[in-house]
Structure formats: structure tokens, C-alpha cells
Amino acid sequence: MTAAKPLLLLDVDGPLNPFAAPPHRRPAGYQTYRMKPDSGVAQHPYTPEHRVKPLRVWLNPAHGAALANLPFDLVWATTWEHDANEWIGWRIGLPREQNLPVIEFGDQFAERPDGTYVKTWKVVEYAAGRPFAWVDDQVDDVDREYVARHHGGPALLHWIDPARGLTDDDFALLADWAAELTPKENTDGHRA
């Protein structure tokens, strides 16, 4: 029986869209898009709909292939939720017909009394003990401690600089982490 691959939980803003880079200096390899998805990601609570401006989103079309080559099952873990499949996936190079699973977060502005990020408990619930790596620009030590206490499997919470997005070093770190989970073959061909 083959074990399931670990999950790679993907945030959009920060890892895939380096929104914090200087506005006049789009990072190399990225393309600029203007988007106005229907979900809350483009909405402002006190601004009438007709005054909401499209979001400027920078995406790298090579990221899809790089993500697909990693030994993970990809899942959206973003406030874009289902809009990530419609607006983001194909623009980073994932097949247009490929809809990734989505973690739904509900009230994205709710504060947690334990100080964890609003996504953290939903990520743990979704993973249900399965090994996962989570790339996000808002995870910190409080979230790592929560995952350590409440998740029954290996987990990597990897902070991504929102001014740089995912880099080659991040892809290498993810590949190395996943490789550590894979049973090594002994010299006689048996799995250890």
C-alpha cells in the first residue's frame, strides 16, 4: 500500500503574490494582473461595490510547474478560497482544468483568543493528522506551537517574505522536508 503524499497548503498573497514588494518594482519573473474576484478578498467592508478597485496581483507563471514537481498534494489555504482556482491557478501555470481542494476559513477577520492566526485551527482540522507543509506570510511561533499541540503528524509552517514570494530556496526546503518523510531504501532494496 502506498502512503498518501504530504499536503502542501498554499497561501496566495505573500507566497505567490509578493504584494509587499515596492509597487514600482515588480519582482523578476512575475507578471501583473488586475483582478476583482467576487469573494471577500477584493471587498472592503465599508466601501460600496462600485468604488472597489481591482487588486494588483503579481504572479509568476513558472510557479505552477515548480509546485507540481514537488512530492505533495496541493491545497489552497488562502483567503481567496475557491477564487484561487478561477483567478490564480492557471495564471501560475497549473492546468486550467485542475481545481485544487480548498480550505474554507469563514470569517476571515475574526480574532482568535489564543493569538493564533485565523487560518491555523482550520489548517489543523483539514490536515487531520496527515503530514503537511504550509507556506504563508502570516505564520509565526504561536501558530507553530498550536500545530505542535493539536496536530498528530509532521508539519512544517514556513514563513514566506511577502516582498519576495516563493524563491528557489523555498522550493528546495519543501522538497528536502518531504524527502525526509519518505522511507529510505536499504542497500538490499527493502524499505527501512
Identify the pLDDT of residue 107: 67
Contact between 12 and 136 (Cβ < 8 Å): no
How many alpha carbons fall within 13 Å on the CB side of residue 178?
22
Residue written as grid cell 507563471? 61
Q: Is residue 154 part of a domain?
A: yes
DSSP label at residue 138: S
Q: Is residue 152 part of a domain?
A: yes
C-alpha cell at 80: 481567496
Q: Is residue 33 part of a domain?
A: no
Contact between 105 and 119 (Cβ < 8 Å): yes
Residue type, 48: P
Contact between 2 and 39 (Cβ < 8 Å): no
Of the pLDDT bands very low, low, confident and very high (cuts 50, 70, 90), residue 187 is very low
Q: What is the CATH number of the domain that holds 87?
A: 3.40.50
Tens digit of pLDDT for each residue in 31-56? 999 987 766 555 555 556 666 778 89
Cα 59 from Cα 91, distance rounded (Å): 7
Q: Is residue 188 part of a domain?
A: no
C-alpha cell at 93: 501555470
Identify the pLDDT of residue 106: 77
Cα 136 from Cα 122, distance rounded (Å): 14
Q: Is residue 97 part of a domain?
A: yes
Q: Is residue 167 part of a domain?
A: yes
Contact between 84 and 39 (Cβ < 8 Å): no
Q: Is residue 66 part of a domain?
A: yes
DSSP label at residue 139: -
pTM of the model: 0.86
Number of structural domains found in the chain:
1
How many alpha carbons fall within 13 Å on the CB side of residue 167?
9
C-alpha cell at 151: 496536530
Q: Print the domain residue range for 99.
A: 7-20+61-181
- Of residues 189 and 87, the one with the higher pLDDT is 87
| Residues 18/20/23/27 CA torsion (nearest 10 deg) | -30
Identify the pLDDT of residue 118: 83
Identify the pLDDT of residue 54: 81
Q: Is residue 89 part of a domain?
A: yes
